[in-house]
Amino acid sequence: MQLLRIIAFPFSLIYALVVYFRNVLYDSELLPSAEFKTPTICIGNLSVGGTGKTPMIEWFLNNLSEDLKLAVLSRGYKRKTNGFVLAQPSSTAEEIGDEPLQIYSKFPESIMAVDANRTRGIEKLERSLQPDLILLDDAYQHRKVKPSFSVLLTAYGELYTKDWYLPTGNLRDSKSASKRADIIVITKCPADMDDEIKISIQRELKPGKNQEVLFCTLEYDPVLKGKADISLEDLQNEEITLVTGIAKPKPLIDFLGSEKISFDHHGYRDHHFFTSKEIDFFNSKPLILTTEKDYMRLKGKVANLYYIAVRHRFLDDGKQTFIKRLEELSK
């Protein structure tokens, strides 16, 4: 795979040029970006997957939904429907996508919609549901909409400044596009990260004077959800098959290892829809442990199925800084 990426280097140069000129056209307003009366917050990244966008959407819903009528608009990646779809209690991953279904399952009081055409999706939400705030999931590259506020995620140890363009690297947007962000969040940081490392990352990213750089770590829920709640301690003497269909399973693998939990790992591509043969294999195992996102595609099909939830926790006073910036947006 690494050799193929090296061979593909000329194509990455072409890709980089296309991305650069596309951004120039939008930045110079030769290509239009629509603005809306409803405040919109874009949450995204410059790379391909694995920075924690869904937990960040959930962080917003956890911290803002008491005071605001929130809507989430996603493209619904890998769903088997087209156009604008509003999540309903009966919705499936096939209809709206696994990540939107995960979000809607946890926050059924919020509005969850999917539409690859974000402009149309926002127009429909404004016309029919009048939310106070719209969260645009994975929309950093969607330049047809000019958001009110942008949050850029980049993972600790995989900073966009040290990456290269597809297909040689993982960047799908220009590094200079980071200048559009109001807040840059370094995700998946060590919980005990020292100040010197934070300062070195700040220097690496070179944020603008109006940009905040915040740091957060992943926290896994000690209680697994499934047909019944069980604790991580209960897994230590179990025969466990770990099933992941996410971009970057390493943090979860490392966490389970730190908890002295042994498992047989079966990894699949991000958003993988499992075949009947794979389902049969999972059903032959005593206990299947998976991620919350994968659970959305496996529930009702696998008998002994459990998932482990994950959330972001900001380090230092990052949460207060974030909320203060968001309060400024509403003024």
For residue range 82-92, list pLDDT tens digits in order. 999 999 999 99
Q: Is the pLDDT of residue 4 over 80?
A: no
Instruction: State the average pLDDT over residues 300-304.
Output: 95
Considering the domain architecture, whether residues 41 and 186 belong to the same structural domain is answered as yes
Q: What is the pLDDT of residue 50?
A: 87
Are 103 and 76 a contacting pair, CB within 8 Å? no
Torsion of CA 159, 160, 163, 168, to 10 degrees: 130
> Do residue 281 and residue 321 come from a single domain?
no
What is the residue range of 272's domain? 222-308
Do 52 and 197 sit in the same domain of this protein?
Answer: yes
Whole-number pLDDT of residue 331? 60
- As a whole number of angstroms, the distance between CA 161 and CA 98 comes to 30
Residue 315 corresponds to which amino acid? L
100-124 pLDDT, tens per residue?
999 999 999 999 999 999 999 999 9
83: domain CATH number is 3.40.50.300
Residues in the chain: 331
**Same-domain check for residues 303 and 177:** no
Q: Are 37 and 157 found together in one domain? A: yes
Same domain? For 103 and 154 the reply is yes
CATH of the domain at 300: 3.40.50
Number of structural domains found in the chain: 2
pLDDT band at 326 (very low <50, low <70, confident <90, very high): confident
Q: What is the pLDDT of residue 1?
A: 58
Q: Percent of the chain, pLDDT > 90?
A: 89
Q: Are residues 324 and 258 in the same domain?
A: no
pTM score, whole prediction:
0.94
Same-domain check for residues 195 and 234: no
| Per-residue model confidence as pLDDT tens digits over 248-288 | 999 999 999 999 999 999 999 999 999 999 999 999 999 99
**Span 175-185, pLDDT tens digits:** 999 999 999 99
Asked if residues 288 and 304 have their Cβ atoms less than 8 Å apart, the reply is yes
Same structural domain, 153 and 210: yes
- When mean pLDDT is compared across 94-108, 150-164, 231-245, 269-283, the lowest value belongs to 231-245
Residue 5: pLDDT band by 50, 70, 90 thresholds? Answer: confident
Same domain, yes or no, for 317 and 292? no
| Cα(72)–Cα(36) distance, integer angstroms | 15
Average pLDDT, the chain: 94
Residue 90: how many other CB atoms lie within 10 Å: 6
